[in-house]
Amino acid sequence: MGNPMRIRAKLDGEVVDAKVLMNHAMETGQRKDASGALVPAHYITKVIASCNGKTVLEADWGPSVSKNPLLGFRFRGAAAGDTLSVTWTDSMNDTRTDEAVIG
Amino acid sequence: MLHRREFLRDMGQGGILVALLSSGLLTIPKAWAADRNQAAFAAKTVEEAFAALGAGTPAASDEITLEAPEIAENGAVVPVNVTTSIAGADAIAILVEKNPNALAAVTIIPAGTEAYVSTRVKMQQTSRVIALVRAKGSFFIASKDVKVTLGGCGG
């Protein structure tokens, strides 16, 4: 399930400027907690963004992507009012999809 | 349905496959796309990651703009922006040379999407950050040294 993403998609001319802020711990598996025990790896492995049934961006990530990841990208072929959908899947097979209307 | 194992067997001698791969005549479909390239993400060094991505020894290109801070006060959150004007660019990878696993992110750029990606990465220590771009089957890089004053991968 995870926590909601914040998605901003703004049309600038013909180009949609998209910024997605995900809510995820992105644990590397190398960090130790206060008791000295390793915190298990738990990070987003895949992000897919789509608009009007078309994939507009696809990303594979490793644990080096920062906690609460930010993803910015720009694509064409969408109009104001269209919906941008973003889905992530993590290393524990959790997944979450959020949408935003292009403004 | 042709399974990979059968395909490899049917190829007869693996040497033919290796020869085709190394000559660039045959490229592995989806090596960067739908299926995550586990070998590339498991690679310890930049060279291993490049090899797993099929990038070999990519040429430096001044048509790639890699934006990252000269000095990152907090290695846990280092902003990295990559843009390229190389025609036909369809994938951008970001690598941090001295992280335990060099490859941080691979972004696939479908037609209609600009060859640009913005994200934030962790850096364990001062290191070279590398942007790798694939365009029409060729690979190009740009790199920048980022000094880290507080590491981002420790506890």
Phi, psi angles (nearest 5°) of residue A58 = -140, 135
Q: Give the per-residue pLDDT at B26.
A: 47
The answer to whether residues B121 and B78 touch, using CB atoms and an 8 Å cutoff, is yes
Token pair recorded at residue B11: 């190829």
Q: Which CATH architecture has domain B31-148?
A: Sandwich (2.60)
Tell me, yes or no, if B122 comes closer than 8 A to chain A by beta carbon.
yes
Three-state DSSP class for residue B52: helix
For B82-127, write each residue's pLDDT tens digit: 999 999 999 999 999 999 999 999 999 999 999 999 999 999 999 9
Phi then psi dihedrals of residue A4, to 5 deg: -60, 150
CATH code reported for the domain at A6-101: 2.60.40.10
Query: Is the minimum CB–CB distance between B108 and chain A shorter than 8 Å?
Result: yes
Q: What is the pLDDT of residues B9-59, one digit of tens each?
A: 554 444 444 454 455 444 444 445 557 899 999 999 999 999 999 999 999
Q: Which residue of A has its CA nearest to B120?
A: A66
Is the whole model's pTM more than 0.80, yes or no? yes
Are residues A72 and B113, on separate chains, in Cβ contact within 8 Å?
no
Side chain identity, residue A14: E
Which residue has tokens 């696993």?
A: B101
| Domain-wise residue ranges, chain A | 6-101
The residues spanned by each domain of chain B are 1-30, 31-148
pLDDT at B29: 43
CB B65 within 8 A of CB B8: no
ipTM of this model?
0.95
Beta-strand (E) ranges in chain B?
59-60, 64-67, 71-72, 78-84, 89-96, 103-108, 116-121, 127-135, 138-148
Q: Quick one: which H or E segment has residue A11?
A: strand A6-12
| pLDDT tens digits, A33-42 | 999 999 999 9
Banded pLDDT at B4 (limits 50, 70, 90): low
* Closest to B94 in 3D by CA, of A15, A5, A65, A17: A65
Strands B71-72 and B138-148: parallel
Nearest CB to B112 within list A31, A65, A76: A76
